[in-house]
Amino acid sequence: MPKALFAMGCFWGSEAAFRQVQGVTATAVGYAGGHTENPTYKEVCGDRTGHAEVVEVEYDPARIAYGDLLRVFWDNHDPTTLNRQGPDVGTQYRSAIFYCDEEQKAEAEASKRAEAASGCHRRPVVTEITAAGPFWRAEEYHQQYLEKRGQAVCHIPVR
């Protein structure tokens, strides 16, 4: 099954948003885009590793297209705030799409252009689009964090 990596603020809410989508077969939260091997939550939150909090989404392309996952990404965070989502501030909360192949890259870039031109935002879209490097799975207590606490979402979608 193919995978997609998205950074859209708090990874707890990001994971919850994708887990509700038909065609998503698995999710995991973790860290990507940094320079430290096997970072811990404390290190990432200290804004010292360069990593973003991300959700890794495994999906069945016969049931959902990558473009539909991009729509979930855009609809569930504010892509105009640099290094911030709601009360969470730091580069670990940046808006980013980490592509796994050239097809994802092209689709992500086209999607970003369409989002920027949509008229839905008063400020420029600052989402970075970067090649996926290593995905470092977060500590187990972060996995499906909101579900374990009986919560469905972490934040209110921006649309």
Active site residues: 10
Q: How far apart are CA 143 and CA 145, in angstroms?
A: 5
Q: How far apart are CA 71 and CA 67, in angstroms?
A: 6
Place of tokens 């500590």: 139
Burial class (CB in 10 A: 0-12, 13-18, 19+), 30: buried
Q: How far apart are CA 85 and CA 63, in angstroms?
A: 30
C-alpha distances out from residue 148 to 92, 140, 143, 153, Å:
23, 11, 9, 12
